[in-house]
Each structure stands twice: as C-alpha cells, then as structure tokens.
Amino acid sequence: MKVSTVLAVATVALFQLQGCGGGGGGGGSTASTGTLKLAITDKMSDDFKNVVISIREIRVVPAGKEGASDNDPGLPVVVSFATPKVVDVMQLQFVQQALGDVLLPVGSYSQIRLILEPNPNGQQQPVNYLVLKSDLTNTKIPLTTPSA
C-alpha cells in the first residue's frame, strides 16, 4: 500500500468555501471581509474501512505564500481545536461535518491546510491512520502527511 494512495483518498475530502460580503444598500461599497465556512465529507471506498485524521488546526494560505511553513504567522488560522478534532472521513459518506468558520480579509487564497496532530513515536497507537476493509484484524496503518 503506497502512502500516496492513502493521501489521495484522504484529500478527496470536500472543503466548502462560501464568500459573503458585508455591506448594504448600493452605493458601490465593497466588502473588506468575507466568511469562510469549512466542512468535510468523503465518498465511500471499496478499499478502506476507516481513514481517521486528528485535526489540530486549519489554516488558509494567501496566494503567493504556498511555500510557507505550516506555522508561518502570515497564514491565517481559521479554526484551532484545544483537543484535536478526530474525524473518520469514511463514516461521513457524502454527509458534511462542519469544522468551523471565520471572517477573513478579502483576497486570493490558494490553499486550505489541515494541520494534523503528529502521530506518536514508539509503540503507541497512531492518531492519523487508515484501516483496510480486507484486514480482519483492523490494523491501524499510520498516515504520514506533510503537517503531521
């Protein structure tokens, strides 16, 4: 099983962006902020029983900052979870689970990054993992992603 296949399945998740300008009646006024609402969903899989991710925070990346590290202060934090938000995307099956929303300055954003809780080292169970449908023992295969 290649990690790239796992990551491809994990990134099938759909993120919903909805822009909304403030302002009222006419006069050519333009909004200086918009609302970003995030939700996650996935389709069913013939290969995976579970794809579990533990989300620590969600950041957006302004256009031109695609190479910035995940902890760059120039990447606005959309949502930060005190306790990681654990989501099994295989259980959603086209049902959206809300992750949060925030007002952002109007502009161009090129990425949404899920910053995952790192998998522990050693013999501890992973917090980001998949389980194959064909595996009767439910072995948790750790996911390795750029942010975790």
The predicted-structure confidence for 1-40, as pLDDT tens digits, reads as follows: 433 333 333 333 333 333 444 444 445 556 798 888 888 8
How far is 144 from 148, CA to CA, in rounded Å? Answer: 6
Model pTM score: 0.74
Which has the higher per-residue pLDDT, 78 or 24? 78
pLDDT category at 122 given cuts 50, 70, 90 is confident
Look at residue 46 and give its three-state secondary structure. Answer: coil
Q: Give 25's contacts (C-beta < 8 A, 6+ positions apart).
A: none
Instruction: Average the pLDDT over 47-64 and give the result.
Output: 93
